[in-house]
Amino acid sequence: MIPTSFEYLRAKNLKDALKAIGKNTKVIAGGHSLLPLLRFRLAQPDTLVDIGQLQELKGIKQAGGGMKIGAATTYRELLESRELGTLYPLIAEVTEHIGDLQVRNAGTIGGGLAHADPAADMPPVMLVLDATFLLQSKGGKRSVAARKFFKGPFTTAMKPNELLTEIQLPAPPKGAGMAYASFEQAASGYALAGAAALIAIAKGMITRAELAFTGLADTPFLAPAAAKLVGTSGDELISQVAAAAVAGVEANDDIHAGPEYRTHLATVAARRALTQALERAR
């Protein structure tokens, strides 16, 4: 339980941090994903760059009709933000699922997303909300859609010299309802399968439907099948869409759940999330 030795650098500001990161460095904020890996010596960086204290990376702001969240904002700060809770109640709902009180006190939204655990709760939320992630490096900044960010287990579109600095959320569509349903693995609390849904309606008809999964496959993903709900009243189609959304997906297999059960749970989670999102939209 003792990591290999490393240099520890507490960045004074963002510029400082961007200068320090690169090959054989790891960025640490809350540390909840990284520390176990360090202690098992499954990660052996030369330098840890601590960005947890950077005020530049903290905070939740209104922007246009949407919001911007600093990457080093803790889960607890997300839960405490009334504005965020009003505009995106789903984020608060899902955040309550993450870890326990201590984890939420120190863990950060950006850290969790950058870690890209394929069974984490927050990525599918980012997918259905169509968030954009701001990535910065010494050389500049670029934006990557959440939908193009998650590339595989623990693998993202970020380059080694880039830092996730901000999560940008567009205004939720008018008349939108959102929901998340998941089945937790009893030991880790990570999702065996989980689904986030967003449904917007106008005059009783669905105008937009988004559905994303976590835990099911090697990376969280958006299910295009949800689009079939658009232009309908939902209800009877939801079960079909839930099943179609997971069809052909190569499901994870581990000691906790085989692919068949996982796929089944994902279908149930999708149905429950879509149904609840629709109810909330109404």
Partner 1 sequence: MRLDFSGAPEIAAPPDEVWKRLLDHEFVASVAPGVESVEPIDDRHFKVISGFGVGAVKVKFQLEVELSDVNPPKSLKMSAHGKAPGSGVEVSTTLEIEPLPPNRSRLKWSATSEVRGTVASVGARLLKGTAKKLTESFWDKFAARVGERSK
Partner 2 sequence: MATLFGSGIKRREDPRLITGKATYTDDVKLPGLLYAAVLRSTYAHAKLRKVDVAKAKKAPGVVAVYTGADVKDKLDTVPCAWNVPNCDLKVPPHPPLAVEKVRYVGDGLAMVVAESRAAARDALDLIDVDYDALDAVVDPEKATQKGAPELHKEVPGNVAFTWKVAGGDVAKAFAEAPVTVEQRIVQNRLLPTAMEPRAACASYNPGTGQLTCWVTSQNPHIHRFLLSVMTKLPEHRIRVIAPEVGGGFGSKIPGYPDEALVSFASMELGRPVKWTEDRSENYKVTIHGRDHVEYVALCGTKDGKITGLRTKVYAGLGGYASTAAPGIPTILHGLMYSGPYTIPNIEGTIYGVYTTTTPVDAYRGAGRPEATFLLERMIDLYARKVGLDPVEVRRMNLIPKEKFPYTVATGLTYDSGNYQGALDKALQMFDYKKFRAEQAKGRKEGRYLGVGVTTYCEICGLGPSQVAGAVGFGGGLYDSAIVRVYPTGVVRAYIGAKPHGQGEETTFAQIVGDEFGIPVENVEVVAGDTEATPQGWGTYGSRTTAACGSAVKVAAQRVKDKAKKIAAHLLEANEADLEWKDGKFAVKGSPDRGKTFGELALMANVAWNMPPGVEPGLEATAFFDPSNFVYPFGTHICTVEVDVETGEVKILRYIAVDDCGPQINPMIVDGQVHGGVIQGLGEALQEMAVYDEDGQLLTGTMMDYAVPKASQMPKVETAHTVTPSPVNPLGVKGVGETGTIASVPTLVNAVCDALAPLGISHIDKPLTPARVWAAIQHARGGAK
- Residues of the shown chain interacting with partner 2 in the complex, contacts defined by CB under 8 A: 1-2, 4-5, 36, 40-41, 183, 185-188, 192, 255-258, 261, 264-265, 268
Site pattern 13..32 for partner 1 (x: CB under 8 A): -------------x------
- b or e along 197-217 (b: 16 or more beta carbons within 10 Å of the residue's beta carbon)? bbbbbeeeebbbbbbbbbbbb
Do 59 and 65 meet the contact criterion of CB atoms below 8 Å apart?
no
Window 97-136: residues binding partner 1 (CB under 8 A) = 115-116, 118-119
Task: Considering the complex, state which of residue 75 and residue 183 has its C-beta at the smaller distance from partner 2.
Answer: 183
Place of tokens 């099943």: 243
Q: What is the DSSP letter of 74?
A: B
Residue 46 binds: one of partner 2, partner 1, none (C-beta under 5 to 8 A by kind): none
Kindly tell me which of 120 and 274 has the beta carbon lying closer to partner 1.
120
* Residue nearer to partner 2 on the CB measure, 186 or 248: 186
Query: How long is the chain?
Result: 282
45 vs 66, beta carbon nearer partner 2: 45
Closest CA to 126 of 102, 100, 101, 156: 156
φ, ψ for residue 157, nearest 5 deg: -75, 0
The sign of the torsion formed by the CA atoms of 172, 173, 175, 179 equals negative
Site mask for partner 1 (CB under 8 A), range 250-279, x = bound: --xxxxx-----------------------
Measure the CA–CA gap between 264 and 192, rounded to whole angstroms. Answer: 11
268 binds, among partner 2, partner 1, none (CB under 5 to 8 A by kind): partner 2
150 in Cβ contact with 242 (< 8 Å): no
**Footprint on this chain of partner 1 (rule: CB under 8 A):** 26, 33-34, 37, 40-44, 115-116, 118-119, 152-156, 185, 188, 190, 218, 252-256
